[in-house]
Amino acid sequence: MGCLRLSLLGVLLLTGCASTRGLPPDQDPRIAHFQRESQKIDDRESRCTSEASGSSDYEIAPMTASPSASKEDQQQAAREREKRLNACRTDASHEREALSERERDDYRNGAQEQRAQESLMAVLTSRPH
């Protein structure tokens, strides 16, 4: 009965491994998850830069229309706009780095699980019945 349980466990482990191993990249759930997360980061960065550009346009427009606006005020507004845009890019870059780290950890853990399953299978198949 003990060998039957071990064999059944081995079959279940192999079935679980086979379900995700060898899938094309567009069907691998892990890759799809990270692609969706990456797209979300891109979308947030795009919204942020649009908002930063839009808000600064409202600040700069009255300055350029007003003859009393100094060149320094216009330059300051332009610097503020660039600062907000850089913040958007920096935040997105940090998010991408964190996502890459999570992806590396996920694949590292997957590789460790696969090695453990292969070791278990080696033990299960080498024992005499």
Give 84-102 pLDDT, tens digit per residue. Answer: 999 999 999 999 999 999 9
pLDDT recorded at residue 67? 61
Give 22-40 pLDDT, tens digit per residue. Answer: 566 667 888 899 999 999 9
What phi, psi does 50 have (nearest 5°)? Answer: -65, -45
Structural domain span for residue 102: 2-126
Give me the number of domains the chain comprises: 1
Cα 77 from Cα 66, distance rounded (Å): 14
Predicted model pTM: 0.62
Cα maximum dimension of the chain: 94
pLDDT recorded at residue 12? 47
Give 52-72 pLDDT, tens digit per residue. Answer: 988 655 555 555 556 666 888
Average pLDDT of every residue of the chain = 79
Compute, in degrees rounded to 10, the torsion defined by CA atoms 65, 67, 72, 76. Answer: -20
98: its two tokens? 């964190």
pLDDT recorded at residue 7? 44
